[in-house]
Amino acid sequence: MSKNSPLLLVNRACGFALDTPIGTEPGGDVTVWTPHGQQHQLWRLEASGEKNQVLIVSVANGLVLDATFEVSGDIHPVMSENTGQPRQRWRLEDSPDGNGYLIRSVHNGRYLTIGHDAARGWGPWFEDRHSRSSQQWMLLLPQGRMAEVG
C-alpha cells in the first residue's frame, strides 16, 4: 500500500467510516457514515514534517483533520486548512491485536473515538487511551467502483 493511496478509515466498534461532506469549509464537522467509498470518505496519510506524525487529508476537499484548539471537555475534530500546527498532526499506534490503529492527536494526546452504538452522522470525539474497539480504526483500500478517485 502506498503512503498516499486513498484510504477508508473504518472504526472497528461500529463499522462506520470517517466522513466529511464534499463541500465542507474550514471548521466543518467530521462524522461517521456507512462505508461507501465516495471521495468524502477517502483520506490520504501525508508526511507532516515531524517524525512519526502524519496529516490526515480529505481527498474530497484537501482539508486536514484538526483536533481544534481545545484540549479538554467535549471535543470533536473538524476540518481545516493545513497550517502544520500540532492540532493537525496525528500518530498512528498499532491496536493491541495488530489489526487496526489507534489515532492519537499530537495536540491533546487523546485518541479518536466513536462508540459501538454510534449512529450514522455522529461525530467522533477524543478520550484517554483505553484501546477498546471504539478507539481502533482500520485503514482500508477502497475496492471496485469505490477506487475511482478523481
Q: Could you name the CATH architecture of 8-147?
A: Trefoil (2.80)
Range scoring the smallest mean pLDDT among 5-9, 84-88, 139-143 = 139-143
For 144, what's the count of Cα atoms within 13 Å in the CB-facing half-sphere? 3
Quote the percentage of the chain above a pLDDT of 70. Answer: 90
Position 90 confidence tier, pLDDT thresholds 50, 70, 90:
very high
Q: What's the whole-number mean pLDDT along residues 133-139?
A: 97
d(CA 128, CA 49): 25
Residue 73 has pLDDT above 60, yes or no: yes
Position 14 confidence tier, pLDDT thresholds 50, 70, 90:
very high
Q: What is the pLDDT of the chain when averaged over all its residues?
A: 90
Q: How far is CA 63 from CA 22, 56, 94, 130, in A?
A: 10, 9, 25, 28
The answer to whether 64 and 56 have CB atoms below 8 angstroms apart is yes
C-alpha grid cell, residue 95: 491496536
Q: pTM for this one?
A: 0.91
